[in-house]
Chains A and B, each alone.
Chain A
Amino acid sequence: MSKKNRPEKNLDGDQNLLLQVLRKPQIMGKLDTQGWNQVLFDAHILKLRARLAHDAETLGIWPALPEKVQQILTNAKIDTASRQRKIMWEMNRVGRALYDFKEKVILVKGAAYIARNLRCAGGRDSVDLDILVAKKHLDIVENHLFLAGYGSQTLDDYDQQYYREWAHELPPLVHPSRLVEVDVHHTILQVTNKLSPKIDLMINASQELDGQFHTLCNEDMLLHSIVHQFVDGSLKSSLRNLLEQHDMIEEFGEKPGFWTNFMDRAEALKLGRPVFYCLRYCEYFLNTSIPDDVMVWAKKYSPGRGVLKLMDLMVFRTMIPFGVSDGVKRSKWTDFLSTNGLYIRSHWLRMPPMMLFTHLSRKFFRRLFRRQT
């Protein structure tokens, strides 16, 4: 995006010290105590401390950090490393449970990044293991996992039914002796979502990883992350998802043919709008290197001026939470409206209005009832 197309006003966020550090990790070597407190606080809220540790180590500036900062970042680094280890072990166990299942089992999200050792896996705090299988194989996969000792977490009938009928995944499964959540997906978006990308295309294009598991191809992996953040997610405090897209763009963007394939893919899967948002906000928040022609192409999918303004306002206000004292005055009610606006938006996209109405009222009454009992 050329300078003049960037949102002009300094809409919060931009001055945030953590953002500056993420854009240019070298400045970690020069932060003072107050600066560190701001950065560490925001990074804690946004689960990005381990990422900072990773950046500092990769750049060789770790020894220059204050001892106390090293201590704090080491906590996060060890924590994240242990979670990544647990996820890889869970993948091993799922592999064992599915040993005679010969169809494609595709790792998605964190597990895929870690298993493929992508740049965005460095210091990424992943909690669940997500896998994707063709819808027609859901039952057999679920059965295999049940036989291996996995169980559904306690959910009532409505939740079970909701998941099975409308969701893009089974109710979360957990093995009682390891307690890592395994999400089995059959597509990347709620069945009822206004966008419903052709998942068969993605499954067909997946790449083999190690004889048992697959991952999505690069283009689809980026698209999946985008969809997860800009269509399905709540967007609030989701900077780390944006960072993951930034990393993928920087890493995959260097490979010949990536952008052409990516644009074709986004069109084939009808994901132009969320891709536009991703590129816009990656550029704005993280100065991601995006070729001009790609940006021009993406503009085709921009919403109208009014909607874009609203979206900007909400995203700028919610991507970064309140810092300890980052010196930017922000009013609480606009943050409140933005957060709730984005919540409503994500639900609006997720299901048709009437269904949304019954779903939310059911949840409301259930909560009311639970509170009374």
Chain B
Amino acid sequence: MVHDLLSIKRQLAGPGLLMGVGPIMTRISIKFPSVRDDFLHIYKNYPLYDGPQIIDYYLSVHAKNVYRRYLRPQVTINTLMNDDFVPLPESMGLLSVEMGMNWQVAFGCKTHVLFHSGVVEKNGIGLIIPAISGSGKSTLSAGLAYDGWRFFSDEFGMLDAQTGDLFPYPRPVSLKNESIAVMKDWLGNDEPFSREFEGTPKGTICYLRPPASSLEKMHEPVKPRVVIHPVYSPNAKSDIKPLTETMAFFRLVRSSANYGDIGAPAFRALAKIAKECVSFEITYSSLEEAIRLVNKIIDENVE
């Protein structure tokens, strides 16, 4: 592993820096110094390698030409995977990096069943939090991660279909709009946050680095035990609703990005989760409330 900042920057600017997150090794090169700084801040504490490693994905973050590098700087990315991303202004470069890495995993990873979900773990209990964007799964995953749980991911649940293990893929949490202030409040410390990127298509975006203790254990899988589908609704009364096995199964299928590609093994793996895990839907109006509901479910249903 490399630790010396100058050599890290040199690799990142030149041939590319090797970074391992969970089971995935990416070689990233970034031609913009300001984007490199944003990147290195949010990916502090992540394992970087300079020894020989077999590489999953290549991500190049560059300017299309000299004009786009210096006069009206614009960040273009190449994932080598049929991407067609709109270039972003240099100030939003980190978003491009994150989009590129998400794209590579979302379309490239078939060894694991992918859920569009947050995943956390405590006392050997794996909790899957599947949800669509806007339901608050990122905030809930991050809230739990900074409340004693181990953070696996806020966006990519990775399940080994053969063993039934969930694998961590602890990339930075992507927070949007109101949830940024909520999390800054929750942590009481701005250091693990990125800059706030205003005026993106999704409003304001801010990234949050997962707790260092979660990153240290990024290769330790866990068995799923609980599935909670969160529904955020500002004025609603909080509520816990158990899901039937059938409903739990179909909700998981719907949240999986590569279920159809993997086929039969994915079907069996999801059926097993639906059968063996407890599955609930919760409705909540604040992060404190959501965490209280999660703990209640765990206390009442898991020994």
Interface residues in chain A, defined as those with a beta carbon under 8 Å from any beta carbon in chain B: 32-34, 36-37, 40-41, 44-45, 66, 68-69, 71-72, 74-75, 78-79, 81-82, 85
Which B residues touch A79, using CB under 8 A?
110, 261
Shortest C-beta distance, A345 to chain B (Å), equals 26
Shortest C-beta distance, B129 to chain A (Å), equals 25
Contact across chains for B55 and A37 when beta carbons are under 8 A apart: yes
Not counting A34-B52, A72-B56, a sample of 13 additional A-B residue pairs whose C-beta atoms are within 8 angstroms of each other reads A32-B52, A33-B54, A66-B54, A68-B25, A69-B54, A71-B111, A74-B111, A75-B110, A78-B111, A78-B261, A82-B110, A82-B260, A82-B263
Between-chain CB contacts (< 8 Å), 30 pairs: A32-B52, A33-B53, A33-B54, A34-B52, A37-B54, A40-B54, A40-B55, A44-B80, A66-B54, A68-B25, A68-B53, A68-B54, A69-B54, A71-B23, A71-B111, A72-B54, A74-B110, A74-B111, A75-B108, A75-B109, A75-B110, A75-B111, A78-B110, A78-B261, A79-B110, A82-B110, A82-B260, A82-B261, A82-B262, A85-B263
Q: Is B156 an interface residue (CB 8 A)?
A: no
Which B residues touch A32, using CB under 8 A?
52
Q: Is B169 an interface residue (CB 8 A)?
A: no
Partner of B52, one of A33, A74, A78, A81: A33
Q: Is B58 an interface residue (CB 8 A)?
A: yes
Cα-based distance from A220 to B244 in the complex (angstroms): 56
Cα-based distance from A81 to B56 in the complex (angstroms): 20
Which B residues touch A36, using CB under 8 A?
54
Cα-based distance from A79 to B108 in the complex (angstroms): 8
Shortest C-beta distance, A318 to chain B (Å), equals 18
Contact across chains for B58 and A41 when beta carbons are under 8 A apart: yes
Which A residues touch B54, using CB under 8 A?
33, 36-37, 40, 66, 68-69, 72
Shortest C-beta distance, B80 to chain A (Å), equals 7
Which B residues touch A81, using CB under 8 A?
263
Which A residues touch B25, using CB under 8 A?
68
The B interface is mostly helix, strand or loop, or mixed, namely: loop
Which A residues touch B52, using CB under 8 A?
32-34
What string of 1s and 0s marks CB contacts (under 8 Å) between B54-77 and chain A? 111010000000000000000000
Name the residue on A nearest B54 (C-beta). Answer: A68
Total chain B interface residues with beta-carbon distance under 8 A: 17
Cα-based distance from A36 to B58 in the complex (angstroms): 14
Which A residues touch B58, using CB under 8 A?
41
Cα-based distance from A33 to B52 in the complex (angstroms): 6
Name the residue on B nearest A70 (C-beta). Answer: B111
Cα-based distance from A335 to B261 in the complex (angstroms): 36
Q: Which 9 residue pairs are nearest across A and B when measured between Cβ atoms? A: A33-B52, A78-B110, A82-B261, A68-B54, A75-B110, A74-B111, A36-B54, A71-B111, A79-B110
Name the residue on B nearest A45 (C-beta). Answer: B80
Which B residues touch A69, using CB under 8 A?
54
Cα-based distance from A74 to B109 in the complex (angstroms): 9
Name the residue on B nearest A32 (C-beta). Answer: B52
Shortest C-beta distance, A198 to chain B (Å), equals 37
Name the residue on B nearest A33 (C-beta). Answer: B52
Cα-based distance from A288 to B56 in the complex (angstroms): 31
Which of B71-116 touch A at CB < 8 Å?
80, 108-111
Which of B55, B58, B109 has the most A CB atoms < 10 Å from its CB?
B55
Cα-based distance from A75 to B158 in the complex (angstroms): 14
Name the residue on A nearest B108 (C-beta). Answer: A75
Cα-based distance from A72 to B56 in the complex (angstroms): 7
Which of B54, B80, B109 has the most A CB atoms < 10 Å from its CB?
B54
Which of B23, B111, B262, B263 has the most A CB atoms < 10 Å from its CB?
B111
Shortest C-beta distance, B219 to chain A (Å), equals 13
Shortest C-beta distance, A239 to chain B (Å), equals 17
Which A residues touch B56, using CB under 8 A?
71-72
Cα-based distance from A69 to B54 in the complex (angstroms): 7
Which B residues touch A37, using CB under 8 A?
54-55
Cα-based distance from A33 to B25 in the complex (angstroms): 13
Cα-based distance from A82 to B260 in the complex (angstroms): 8
Which of B52, B56, B110, B263 has the most A CB atoms < 10 Å from its CB?
B110
Cα-based distance from A213 to B111 in the complex (angstroms): 34
What string of 1s and 0s marks CB contacts (under 8 Å) between B249-283 and chain A? 00000000000111100000000000000000000
Name the residue on B nearest A73 (C-beta). Answer: B111
Which A residues touch B111, using CB under 8 A?
71, 74-75, 78
Cα-based distance from A68 to B111 in the complex (angstroms): 11
Name the residue on B nearest A75 (C-beta). Answer: B110
Which A residues touch B110, using CB under 8 A?
74-75, 78-79, 82
Cα-based distance from A45 to B52 in the complex (angstroms): 21
Which of A33, A66, A69, A71 has the most B CB atoms < 10 Å from its CB?
A71
Shortest C-beta distance, B151 to chain A (Å), equals 23
Cα-based distance from A71 to B23 in the complex (angstroms): 9
Shortest C-beta distance, B88 to chain A (Å), equals 20
Which B residues touch A68, using CB under 8 A?
25, 53-54
Which A residues touch B261, using CB under 8 A?
78-79, 82
Cα-based distance from A79 to B109 in the complex (angstroms): 9
Which of B104-139 touch A at CB < 8 Å?
108-111
Which A residues touch B109, using CB under 8 A?
75
Cα-based distance from A297 to B262 in the complex (angstroms): 47
Cα-based distance from A34 to B15 in the complex (angstroms): 14
Which B residues touch A45, using CB under 8 A?
80
Shortest C-beta distance, A66 to chain B (Å), equals 7
